């Protein structure tokens, strides 16, 4: 089965519905549309169109445009075993009535393949839930502040921090509406702790 469709110049997305499933053709180029679905596309330039069947481009003063379409192509050739009655029936139909397209029907119903596409998006989001975050590495689980110090007499002396906590911002839990923020910085062999109550 074949059909000729007059389309205006530009890029047009194409999707094929086969046995109720939307598929792409491997013989056409593919792209991702606005909804993230893989589709085929056609690029039609004004040079590709025959001069008799070009779609006129609208001007600023025109409110409507007319589109000339090519004559209809028969979908199948008549077989040689047609009877005289069918030949007479075909000859009684005026040729102008076979070329007129059927009037378009507009409905408020959403096609089933579009509803299925929306359900497919819901299924994807449920199937691709984010995994739980990884646990902290061992070097970040050791807290220097408020920990036991190597010098029992002087509580202001802290042990040397791990290299992984340098230049990181640390916060304490909120106690009495006060949040303590600290940063650890190293200069040569010296380590500095800066505390700022917020």
Determine the pLDDT at residue 170: 76
> Which of 24-28, 60-64, 91-95, 96-100 has the lowest average pLDDT?
60-64
Residues 6+ away with beta carbon under 8 Å from 150: 157, 159
CATH number for the domain that contains residue 52: 2.60.40.10
- Count how many domains the chain has: 2
Q: Is residue 146 part of a domain?
A: yes
Q: Is residue 33 part of a domain?
A: yes
Q: Is residue 116 part of a domain?
A: no
Closest-CA residue to 23 (of 33, 12, 31, 14): 14
Find the mean pLDDT for residues 130-149.
Answer: 68
> Which of 11-20, 105-114, 162-171 has the lowest average pLDDT?
162-171
Determine the pLDDT at residue 82: 47
> Which of 36-50, 80-94, 155-169 has the lowest average pLDDT?
80-94
Of 72, 89, 123, which residue constitutes the final position of a domain?
72
CATH number for the domain that contains residue 179: 2.20.25.290
Find the mean pLDDT for residues 176-186.
Answer: 81
Identify which of 2-6, 68-72, 128-132, 190-194 has the greatest average pLDDT. 2-6
Find the mean pLDDT for residues 76-86.
Answer: 49
Per-residue model confidence as pLDDT tens digits over 25-53: 888 898 888 777 888 988 888 777 666 55
Contact 6, 67 (CB under 8 A): yes
Determine the pLDDT at residue 65: 46
Of 57, 72, 87, which residue constitutes the final position of a domain?
72
Find the mean pLDDT for residues 4-15.
Answer: 84
How far, in Å, CA of 53 to CA of 66, rounded? 11
Q: Give the three-class secondary structure for 60.
A: coil
Of 72, 98, 124, which residue constitutes the final position of a domain?
72
Domain that holds residue 164: 138-197
Determine the pLDDT at residue 141: 65
| More confident call, 88 vs 159 | 159
Determine the pLDDT at residue 120: 63
Q: Is residue 115 part of a domain?
A: no
Q: HSE on the CB side for 190, CA within 13 Å? A: 3
Q: Is residue 31 part of a domain?
A: yes
Q: Is residue 100 part of a domain?
A: no
| More confident call, 76 vs 24 | 24
The partner residues of 30 in beta bridges, in order of sequence, read: 40
Average pLDDT, the chain: 70
182 sits in which H/E element = strand 180-187
């Amino acid at each position: 089965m074949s059909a000729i469709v007059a389309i205006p110049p530009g890029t047009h997305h194409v999707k094929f519905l086969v046995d109720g499933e939307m598929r792409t053709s491997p013989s056409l180029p593919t792209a991702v549309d606005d909804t993230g679905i893989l589709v085929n596309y056609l690029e039609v330039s004004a040079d590709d169109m025959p001069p008799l069947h070009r779609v006129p481009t609208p001007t600023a003063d025109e409110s409507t445009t007319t589109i000339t379409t090519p004559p209809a192509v028969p979908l199948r050739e008549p077989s040689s075993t047609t009877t005289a009655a069918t030949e007479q029936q075909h000859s009684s139909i005026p040729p102008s009535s076979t070329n007129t397209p059927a009037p378009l029907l507009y409905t408020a119903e959403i096609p089933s393949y579009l509803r299925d596409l929306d359900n497919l998006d819901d299924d994807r989001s449920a199937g691709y839930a984010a995994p739980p975050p990884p646990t902290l590495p061992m070097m970040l689980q050791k807290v220097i502040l408020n920990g036991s110090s190597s010098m029992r007499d002087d509580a202001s002396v802290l042990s040397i921090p791990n290299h992984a906590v340098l230049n990181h911002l640390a916060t304490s839990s909120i106690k009495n509406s006060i949040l303590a923020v600290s940063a650890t910085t190293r200069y040569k062999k010296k380590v500095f702790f800066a505390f700022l109550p917020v």
